[in-house]
Structure formats: structure tokens, C-alpha cells
Amino acid sequence: MKREKRVFACINSPEEELSTFILQFYNRRNQVMPKEILVPSNLDKDTLSEVLNVPFRTPQRGQKKDLMDMAADNSKLVLQEKFRLMELDNRQTYGAQKQIFEALGLPYGHVIESFDHSHIQGTNPVSAMVQFLDGRPEKSNYRKYKIKGEVEHQSGADEAANTREVVYRRYSRVLKEEGNLPDLILMDGGIIELRAVMDVLQNELGIHIPVAGMVKDNHHNTSHLIFGEEGEIVPLDRKSQGFYLLQRIQDEVHRFAITFQRKTRSKNALSSRLDGIQGVGPKTRNKLLKKFGSVKKMKDASVEELTALGISKTTAQTIKITLASTDFHKKYSKG
């Protein structure tokens, strides 16, 4: 029996997020479909079955019920491990970061910055940067970037282009503002991303910052670090605090990137749907996006809440009817 574990941000309701994940998981290329899929009782099994053409069931007893219970217990254990990594005290986080620098053969540095990209089937590409100070996240220094380059996400060369763009934008601005450069950059990815960062820093910006790549295994879990022009594997004990911190940094930058990407995608989708509603011009659309930000929140809003933004009652009613008319299949099958 094959087991995979994923931790992802919850932007909307848990039921909606799990449904979205299931649809995206089984829509992957070359994905073998099972004979049936077992899910919690609070999901819309009929619609999921219709979209994927596979029976969805919630077992009430027997071996399949035990299997569901085991999956729930395993999920709790995964979350507990994530929380445990987040509860490292100051001494442990400092020591953990020191282990990473020592493994790379570098003198200790206080600031690590890490980058990751996110997109869904090539749409709404974004990048994100997180910063860790002595092993602890400095969330006030996190940064988000909408990718400006017009590239299709189909090859490593595209990932390199996105990497080059966001790294140049980040550190050219730091230099312009005479800010402080980090002591280490950790790039989510392999040799392609690693070389792209090094080239931008050295040949375009004329600065030297150590760069390492955080490589994942086939199950999307942290595997190891690579360093240098040839991407040599860096020895780091998988049971060490340094490796746990590496996991946390990689998980955190991925979480931040995917959360931003999904919010961007949601707003873009909502914006395009609002454009087709009579009576909703650019100013009204921007008011709605700023106030509600998602289809769900707008659909749940009352007519009075909509008219409070200066929208006529007729337009408010049209908005609610139009948004409510989109069925689940249309919403998720494009996933």
C-alpha cells in the first residue's frame, strides 16, 4: 500500500480545500484511478463522483472504516510533527541554523532567505520569499512577487527564468535601498535554480551571497541540500536539528508561495466573472474585490452588505444570482 502525505494551506472551508485537493490529485498526468475513493461524510460525494467518474463513499463499519480511522490518525501525527518543529526554542533554533552553515562549510550567518515558485497548470505564476533570523521566521520581512515574464511552465528553463527574475528584483532593490543582504540563500529546487541564482548575483548584480538548493524526493519531502556550481550533495544528518530546520524553511516558503498563488488565482477568477455582470464596472469590481476577496464571501454576503458599497439593489441582486449559478463542476473541473 502506497502512502503519500501533503500539508497545504486552508484558504476557504476545510471541506472545499479537501475537495479541491482530491480533484487536483486525481487529475494529474498518468494518474491511475482507483475503483473507489473513501472520504469523510461532510464532502459532496455525489459531485466528486460525477466529476471523476469514480464512486465516493464514507464507510460506517468494518475494514474500510478502520482504514479511514487510520488515515485520520496518521494525518494527526503528521501535523503534530510539523508543530513540534515549530516549537524549537531559541537555543535549538540557533544551533539548528549553525548546523546548516557548518554543513555548507560557511561561517555562521544570522539571516537566511528562501525562495519558491508556484503556479497551477502554468497560470497565475508567483514567487515568494521567506526570511529566517537565527532559525526563527521573520514574517514581517516576507515578500511576494507576481511573475512578470511571459513564460510557459513546461520546462526547467522556465523555472530558471522565473528564478532569475525574482532574485534580480529582490536584491537589486536591496542594493538600491542600501539594505542588508542575507548570509545565505536557500532556493527550493535543483541545479537549474541554483545556477540561475548564482549567475544573477555574481554576473548581473556583482554581489556574492552563498546559495544552496533544497531538493525534494519523489514524495515531495525534503531530501537534501546541494551546493556549488556542480550541485554537490551536502551531508546533513536527517535526524539533526539542522535538517528539521531545513524542512521547516522549505515547508514555510512553499506554504507562503502556494497561499499567495491561490489568492491571486481566486481574485483573478473572481475579477473575470465580475466583468461579465451588467452594472459592474472597474470601480465597482475593485470595491468588491477589496471588500470580499473571494467568490464564497461574496456569495455569502447579503444584498444589504453589497449595497453598502454604493451598489444599486438591482446590481447587487444580479451579482448574487450570477455567482450562485456557477455549479461545482464548473468551479473545480478546470482545477
The C-alpha atoms of residue 126 and residue 220 are separated, in whole angstroms, by: 19
Is residue 187 within 8 Å of residue 214, measured between CB atoms?
yes
pLDDT at position 334? 42
Estimate to the nearest angstrom the gap between the alpha carbon of 246 and the chain centroid: 17
Task: Name the one residue in this structure whose C-alpha cell is 521566521.
Answer: 137
CATH number of 90-261: 3.30.420.340
The three grid cell numbers given for residue 256, joined into one nine-digit string: 507562503
pLDDT at position 103? 95
Model pTM score: 0.59
For the chain, domain boundaries: 14-84, 90-261, 276-332
HEC profile of the chain: CCCCCCCCCCCCCHHHHHHHHHHHHHCCCCCCCCCCEECCCCCCHHHHHHHHCCCEECCCCHHHHHHHHHHHHHHHHHHHHHHHHHCCCHHHHHHHHHHHHHHCCCCCCCEEEEEEEEEECCEEEEEEEEEEECCEECHHHCEEEECCCCCCCCCHHHHHHHHHHHHHHHHHHHHHCCCCCCCEEEEECCHHHHHHHHHHHHHHCCCCCCEEEEEECCCCCEEEEEECCCCEEECCCCCCHHHHHHHHHHHHHHHHHHHHHHHHHHHHHHHHHHHCCCCCCHHHHHHHHHHCCCHHHHHHCCHHHHHCCCCCHHHHHHHHHHHHCCCHHHHHCCC
pLDDT tens for the chain, 335 residues long, are 567 777 666 656 788 778 878 877 887 666 778 899 999 988 888 878 877 888 999 999 999 999 989 988 888 888 877 776 666 555 578 889 999 999 999 999 999 999 998 754 445 578 899 999 999 899 999 999 988 764 444 443 477 888 999 999 999 999 999 999 999 999 988 899 999 999 999 999 999 999 999 998 877 778 889 999 899 999 889 888 899 899 889 888 888 888 776 666 555 555 556 666 767 777 777 787 778 766 667 778 888 888 888 888 878 877 777 666 544 334 444 44
Q: Does domain 276-332 have CATH number 1.10.150?
A: yes
